[in-house]
Amino acid sequence: MTTADKPDLTAYDAVLFDLDGVLTPTAEVHMHAWRTMFEELFAAWDITPPYTDDDYFASLDGKKRYDGVASLLRSRDVEIPWGDPSDPPEKDTICGIGNRKNVVFERVLRADGIAPYPGSVALLDVLAAAGTPIAVVSSSKNAEEVLRVAGLRERFPVVMDGVIAERDHLASKPAPDVFVEGARMLGVDPARSVAVEDAISGVQSAAAGGFALVIGVDRGVGASALSDAGAHLVVDDLQELV
C-alpha cells in the first residue's frame, strides 16, 4: 500500500472493529482450550490416537462449537448423544462437551492472558487522539471478558457482542444486523463509517450494512477472498493504517 492509498480513518464518523483476529489473537486461546479439554477427555475415555493441533484445523476451526465436537469425536469413531444446549458442562453429550470447552476457554484466558495486536493498539491510539468514536462488533459471547483481559475494555463505549445479539434476536454475520446495530448504538451512520474485519462472513456483514469503508485484515484467509467478500481495502496488519 502506497501512502496515497492509505485512508485517513479519522476523517470518518466512526470505526467499528471486529474483536477476534482483528484486535486480539483469540484463536490461539481457543486452540489451547480445545487442546486442554480434549487431552483430558481422551485420557479419561482411552481415546486414541492422541489429540493434536491438526485436529483443530480438520474438525474444529470455523465450525460452530457443537458441530466441531461431533466432527472431532466422529474422527475417532466415538458416538455419543447430541444432548441439549442447556446441558451442564459435566454432561457427556455433544452439547455438554461443547459447553465444557467454554469453561476451559475462560480458564485458559484468565491463566494465559491475551495481548492485543500492537498494530491494532497503535491504530486505536490514533483514533482516540483524534476523538473518532469506536465500537466493537463481535459474534462472541466472550467479547467482554476478552476485552477486559486484553486491557482494552475501557477504550470502547459500545460493545455489540454475542450476548446482545442473542438477547435482541439479531441475525449473525454475514447478515448486516450486528454491524448496523453497532452503528446505531454508537449513534453514527454506516454510510459515513468504517468497519474492520478478518473473516469472510464479517466482511460480508459490513458490506451488506452499507459501510463507507470496509477494511479486511488478512490473518490467513487471503486478500483476494476478503476482497471478493466486499472489502474495499485489505491489510496484513492495522499498523499499515497508522
Return the number of the residue (12 or 117) whose C-beta is nearest Mg ion: 117
Given 8, 13, 20, 189, the catalytic residue:
20
Q: Is residue 143 close enough to count as binding Mg ion by CB under 5 A?
A: no
Return the number of the residue (20 or 55) whose C-beta is nearest Mg ion: 20
d(CA 36, CA 112): 13
Q: Is residue 174 close enough to count as binding Mg ion by CB under 5 A?
A: no
x/- mask, Mg ion, residues 193-222, rule CB under 5 A, reads -----xx-----------------------
Eight-state DSSP code of residue 198: S
| Alpha-carbon torsion angle 102, 119, 8, 194, nearest 10 | -10
Return the number of the residue (96 or 216) whose C-beta is nearest Mg ion: 216
Buried b (16+ CB within 10 A) or exposed e, 86-124: ebeeebebbbbbbbbbeebbeebbeeeebebbebbbebb
Q: Which three cell numbers stand for residue 139?
A: 459474534
Shortest approach of Mg ion to residue 33 CB, angstroms? 17
Shortest approach of Mg ion to residue 18 CB, angstroms? 4
20 catalytic, yes or no?
Answer: yes
Return the number of the residue (73 or 195) whose C-beta is nearest Mg ion: 195
Out of 9, 14, 21, 37, point to the residue binding Mg ion (CB under 5 A).
21
Q: Which residues contact 58 (CB under 8 A, 6 or more apart)?
A: 75
d(CA 223, CA 103): 34
Q: Is residue 20 close enough to count as binding Mg ion by CB under 5 A?
A: yes
Which span (11-19, 126-134, 210-218, 223-231) binds Mg ion, by CB under 5 A?
A: 11-19
Strands (E), 127-225: 134-137, 158-160, 194-197, 213-217
Catalytic center residues: 18, 20
Contact residues for Mg ion (CB under 5 A)?
Answer: 18, 20-21, 198-199
